[in-house]
Amino acid sequence: MPQQVRRETGMGIEIKTVGIIGAGQMGTGIAHVCAASGLDVRLNDRDSGRLDAGLALIDANLSRQVQKGSLSEDQRRTALERIALARGYADLGPCDLVIEAATEDEATKRKIFQDLCPSLKPDALVATNTSSISITRLAASTDRPDRFIGIHFMNPVPVMQLVELIRGIATEDPTYESAKAFIGKLGKTSTMSEDFPAFIVNRILLPMINEAIYTLYEGVGSVESIDTAMKLGANHPMGPLQLADFIGLDTCLSVMQVLYEGLADSKYRPCPLLVKYVEAGWLGRKTKRGFYDYRGETPIPTR
């Protein structure tokens, strides 16, 4: 087979087909915005049932946009037709860019990249949607660290405007320029972060959430009083404990552990109450219980 000819726009490769590994909340959100922006998408997950469920979720979210008037029915149908299910990594071979959006666990991500790269064409770019893990370390598990970059979307992807771009030590300029152009094509704004634990947004946001949990742990205020205080006293659209439930308490704990281990500063020590909730399996909205109980019609504080 003849070697692929590298297509360039400016300093980087033109991205027309995007592969996404992980059909959870983040992966389906990324697939949604890519397809709605005119890109071909190949969605992969090791769980075939999750793949089908992910496609149904994308369809539901696109339909919601139609109901709101931000998308036409023809646009919804066309976007959905651009998404193909990739049952194995071989199906990601034609992709110009593959974004990993699997669970926030370094060993899992490294294994994905090791298994993925042999299926990719030589000029394909590889990215991770990690919210905290070292881009340089993850890049080292691939055969193309120069073509590897962090592309950190915010949750929920179709709504949030910002995307963090994080360069590893080996990331070359054309890779960064390609990623920046890709984010622009999605109609989003990118900001560049250096490769330090948790990058910019989570470096600031998660310690605030962790401090809110300490405030609860130490009995300074209840769940309701803490969230009300920050919504009305700091003009936050969502209280920090409500936000923690939305993010997932396991993800919050993972990011705090990365900060604590990576920066060796006691101010990043995860609150014991956060650890306890995760150990109990109370991870927030996705398990119906966290700092709030979501099993009824209205969320009820659990403390």
Q: What is the DSSP string of 247-271?
A: H-HHHHHHHHHHHHHHH--GGGPPP
> Is 236 assigned a catalytic role?
no
- The residue among 208, 199, 149 whose CA lies nearest residue 174 is 149
Output the CA torsion 106→162→234→287 (10° steps). Answer: -50
Question: Sign of the CA dihedral 190, 194, 199, 201?
Answer: negative
> Is 44 assigned a catalytic role?
no
- The residue among 285, 220, 264 whose CA lies nearest residue 25 is 285
- Contact (CB, 8 A) for 149 and 165: yes
Write down the catalytic residue from 131, 132, 141, 178: 131
The residue ranges of DSSP E strands in 46-137, in sequence order, are 83-86, 97-100, 125-128
Write down the catalytic residue from 152, 190, 193, 210: 152
Residues 6+ apart with CB under 8 A from 120: 92, 93, 95, 98, 126
> Is 106 assigned a catalytic role?
no
> Is 32 assigned a catalytic role?
no
Distance CA 152, CA 127 (A): 9
Residues annotated as part of the active site: 131, 152, 164, 202
